[in-house]
Amino acid sequence: MSTETYSLPSTQPLTDAYVNLTDSRVESLFGYHPGRKGDWELRAKRLAESAGARAEAASVAAVLRDYNSKWNAAPEALAAIDAIAEGAPVIVGGQQAGLWSGPLLVIHKAVSIIGAARHAEQLLGRKVAAVFWIAGEDHDWDEANHAYVLTADQGLRKLAAARPEGARTSVSRTAIDANTWAELLAELEQALPHSDFKPEILQQLGQITEQAQSLSEMFAGVISCLLSKQGLVIMDADDPQLRKLEAPMFEKLITHNDELEQAYTAAANQVKELGYPLQVDVTPGSANLFVFQTNKGQERTLLYKQEGSFQSRKGDYSLTKEQLLDMARQQPEQLSNNVLTRPLMQDYLFPVLGTVLGGAEIAYWAITGEAFRKLDMEMPLVLPRISFTLVEGTVAKHMSKYELTLEDVAVRFEERKQQWLAEQDQLSIDEKFAAAKQAFEDLYAPLLDLAASVQPGLAKLGDTNRQKIIEQITFLETRTKDAHEKQYEAAIRQLDRIALSLWPSGKPQERVLNMIAYWNRYGTSWLDKLLEAPFSPLGGHQIIYL
């Protein structure tokens, strides 16, 4: 298998400082580092010592078994759940659900979780389970409802599910009916090029959507279909059965809410004092918890502390602390975490050896370290996910033909494209038209002076006339260039295909394209190459040639 490494431009200096150990001050925000073997061993030891402080492993495993069995989990995933029941540590990472699995980075994160679990098994000599945390409690429908697919006509098509009528609730609680699934599948079938794998893929997706009542469930079915054979266990953060097990932790988050707010604020201030930007705002008075309002169709509402109670931002919904605690005990499914309390809940549910995160996630996890300590917990190992760029054979051939690197495509594509076109201009079109314009200007200038000397008012008329003639020469120049470039239409299509495949819409491939075009063209062999790629606990970016 052919692979290369590439350093993607980073937008997270704090994450870079942590991963590369370039700023020793940042280490205190996290605690462990994935590049040190001793930290893996120490974290595993501490997990064993604190087993009684977490949810009962057998109960968590029972919920996972029910959920994964619904999506026809492979024996390897069920075996991992058995190991969780016996107290095996886990590597966990997650993402919000997306249509047909969302952007490629979702698959990259899942592959990274699997790779990290296998890496940990080799270091520790024991079973480590891989868990994918589906953030079904999130309510950002516009972020979850679509997928960008490469089409048969070399285009990029956005497929999207319209938001059903009703309250702004979690993606897991937003129901999608059979007719909508049928329409989405029909649109997908139309967009995908014909291939040997297409009928089977559409059949598998049809079977998944027959059971799926939400985007989160469809997402779970797709991830299970692709990766449960690798031992990946899936879960939905909004699973009501898991919520029951989370009740004691919700009580803690409510009881110690003021202390946690102080911890987040102190950590945020520390990050700023170190000279790094905050990735997430720490809002004064925020409880960092959501409630699903039953009187508003399960609308997900963020709570704020005001006048001794927990209220919505507008103040039209209010609970006393005791009422909120009673909800945690009796109806924990009505509560939900935000980005700052989710890490704590994750560590309560599982013995988390390590968590796989994207660059922005690592930056905001830096704010949670003190909150872990306030609850006598420890932040797990934080591992950056590995990212990939998939390069198809035809694209690789064209990159070689035009002498383009991935960096050329990412950083200076239009410049290189225009440079290549200019090099094909054997007629010196630019130079000859420029010379003609200058020759005209030289001939016309004395005539303008002459006309102005006869009658001053003719100067303006003459200048207008000059501009019109220059415009006509420019018009002819443009038409000549267009006609010349038509000779290179095939080359332009090849160049544009490179950009569309590797850096669509001016963004990394993984942040835009859905995986289904590769599944459709290569079966699962493209995924096998990701799974076979070298794993690094420090993340990085790899170019995979298909």
Domain ranges in the chain are 10-243+342-383+523-531, 408-513
pTM of the entire structure?
A: 0.90
Per-residue pLDDT of the chain (546 residues), as tens digits, is 677 888 877 789 999 999 999 999 999 999 899 999 999 999 999 999 999 999 999 999 999 999 999 999 999 999 999 999 999 999 999 999 999 999 999 999 999 999 999 999 999 999 999 999 999 999 999 999 999 998 878 789 999 999 988 889 999 999 999 999 999 999 999 999 999 999 999 999 999 999 999 999 999 999 999 999 999 999 999 999 999 999 999 999 999 999 999 999 999 999 999 999 999 989 999 999 999 998 888 999 999 999 889 999 988 999 999 999 999 999 999 999 999 999 999 999 999 999 999 999 999 999 999 999 999 999 999 999 999 999 999 999 999 999 999 999 999 999 999 999 888 877 788 888 999 999 888 898 898 888 888 888 888 888 899 899 999 999 999 998 888 778 888 899 999 999 999 999 999 999 999 999 999 999 999 999 999 999 999 999 999 999
- Contacts for 83 with CB less than 8 Å, ≥ 6 apart: 127, 129
106, 60 Cβ separation under 8 angstroms:
no
Residue from 111, 89, 27, 112 nearest 383 by CA:
112
DSSP state of 294: G
357, 92 Cβ separation under 8 angstroms:
no
Residue from 345, 339, 71 nearest 218 by CA:
71
* Mutual angle of helices 240-255 and 342-349, in 10-degree steps: 120
What is the Cα–Cα distance from 160 to 144, expressed in whole angstroms? 9
Residue 120, SS3? helix
Strand partners, 92: 131, 355
Pairing of strands 352-357, 90-95: parallel
The Cα-based distances of 470 to 433, 464, 467, 481, 546 in angstroms read 10, 10, 5, 16, 51
